[in-house]
Chains A and B, each alone.
Chain A
Amino acid sequence: MAHNNLNLKLKVWRQKNANTTGAFVKYDVNDISDEMSFLEMLDVLNEKLIVTGEEPIAFDHDCREGICGMCSLYIDGKPHGPWQANTTCQLHMRAFKDGDTITIEPWRSNAFPIVKDLTVDRGAFDRIIQAGGYVSVNTGNAVDGNSLPINKDNADASFAAAMCIGCGACVAACKNSSAMLFLSAKVSHLALLPQGEPERKSRVLNMVAQMDKEGFGSCTNTGACEAACPKEISIANIARLNKEYLRAGITAE
């Protein structure tokens, strides 16, 4: 395969902290290998900025393997950039052409306040999980994994929902800043399994209440979340969440 080097122009959102207003700053990055990842390209730029005495661009990242959910970035009008079912850290520079201008923005939502530059505080997701995204288990010896029979279809659907890495791309993609795809993945993951049964009703009611408290918008089923999700979480989970909510709401004491 041919190896190409790219010269690119970047438009990056720079913002000192949550209390200041930010603005786009233009940068030229040259001789970028198309085998680099997007974050490596930003590393190259940051090293250059450090050498010239400028403040490097703050962005979130951790595993750089596409599994931790830490990276974000709204690239050229799509969360995690132009590729489908892909995280920013797994986006490679061959996705771009020589001479391209790339616009990089942080996740935009009141519920995800900007910490600095492209870094946002996604603590709201943690608090939603704390409100009900757990199961209760008795302490003691680990039970045998096969002692609880689980329908294969449910196990598969639960596993597909559990793929959610909580990156927040669904919120970033949604015109309403709704967290419903995230929430529905977390609720479905546990509602489909017998282990999730004891807290089934309180879980969905409490997690929805916490989501509303955090200031996310409501879902209008546009499907943007599903299209942007790096883990291809199905929007069918949102319908399942609605069913769980209706069931819990009607039958609550």
Chain B
Amino acid sequence: MSSNNMFTSSVGKKLVMAFTGIFLVLFLVVHAGLNACIWAMDGGVMFNRAGHFMGSNVVPRILEVGLFFFIFLHIIQGYMLTLQNRSKRAVGYAVNYTKGSKWYSRSMAILGTILLMFFVIHWKHFWIPSRITGVEEIKLPNGVEVHNLYAVMQETFQNIWVVVFYVVSCISLAYHLAHGFQSAFKTIGVHNKRYHAMISCIGYGFAIIIPLAFAMMPISFYLHWVK
């Protein structure tokens, strides 16, 4: 075996899942951080300014290309691996072995599918209007005209079913991360006990804090905590 098929063997495909997964984890930090600007309580000025920077500056635009590439690689590879793995046991068991593993570890594809459905709806809510179909402009205090994404959020999250769907998606994200975060680091070879304990701990913390922050955004708008 040469290094040519390093990323196409069973271990290699998992490496691709891990590297893209870690990239997506980093993206979540950036996304949650920027969105937290809604809590600046300034009528969305800071949030719209942050959104304008992300949409107009060349660095985030280049990173966005990478984000789309990695997210689709993660999704497609994930589905292919799930189908391949399922095909390895033509005759199943009468009694399944469920005690040895967590349900969410076994359900990454289902959790991922909920997240994929979420992305489609989320893109339709925000990304497509902002990039393609257009969003109402607003003038910032410094005179710059920007998309009023804050108003789009306010309007979108007045619908209780949208809020419920976003919260359910955040719960799926939490469980997806609870397995995915630490699993990704195992896949890239972290076996040292001390580091592994640390990564598990950070992973569970991350899986709670980030989805909780995201879930609080539609809830904050729905309950008019931010105005």
Contact = CB atoms under 8 A, between A and B. Distances in A.
Instruction: Please indicate whether A and B come from the same complex rather than being unrelated chains.
Output: yes
Interface string A183-219: 0000000000000000000000110110110011111
Interface in B37-95: 81, 84-95
B97 A78 contact: yes
Contacts, number: 153
A52 interface: no
A218 B10 contact: yes
Nearest to B6: A249
B14 A219 contact: yes
B195 to A, nearest CB: 10
B92 A222 contact: no
Contacts of B91: 108
B12 interface: yes
Contacts of B81: 218, 220
Contacts of B189: 239-240, 242-247
Contacts of A77: 93, 95-99
Interface in A137-178: 172-173, 175-178
A41 interface: no
Q: Give the interface centre of A176, A215, A226 by most chain B CB atoms within 10 Å.
A: A176
Interface residues of A, number: 55
Interface string A77-120: 11100000000000000000000000101001111000000000
A74 interface: yes
A228 interface: yes
Contacts of A217: 10, 84-85, 88-89
Contact of A177 (B3, B15, B88, B99): B88
A74 B93 contact: yes
Contacts of A241: 11
A236 B193 contact: yes
Given A221-B179, A252-B3, 10 more contacts: A108-B92, A108-B93, A206-B1, A209-B9, A211-B10, A215-B88, A219-B14, A221-B182, A240-B191, A242-B189
Interface of B: 1-3, 6, 9-15, 81, 84-102, 105-106, 108, 179, 182-183, 185-191, 193, 196
26 contacts: A11-B94, A74-B97, A77-B98, A78-B97, A103-B95, A110-B90, A176-B88, A177-B85, A177-B89, A208-B9, A209-B9, A212-B9, A216-B88, A217-B10, A218-B14, A218-B84, A222-B100, A223-B100, A227-B100, A228-B100, A240-B189, A244-B189, A245-B11, A245-B12, A246-B189, A252-B3
Q: Which 7 A-B pairs have the closest CB atoms?
A: A243-B189, A227-B100, A77-B95, A239-B191, A249-B6, A176-B85, A218-B10
Interface of A: 11, 24, 74, 76-79, 103, 105, 108-111, 172-173, 175-178, 205-206, 208-209, 211-212, 215-228, 235-247, 249-250, 252
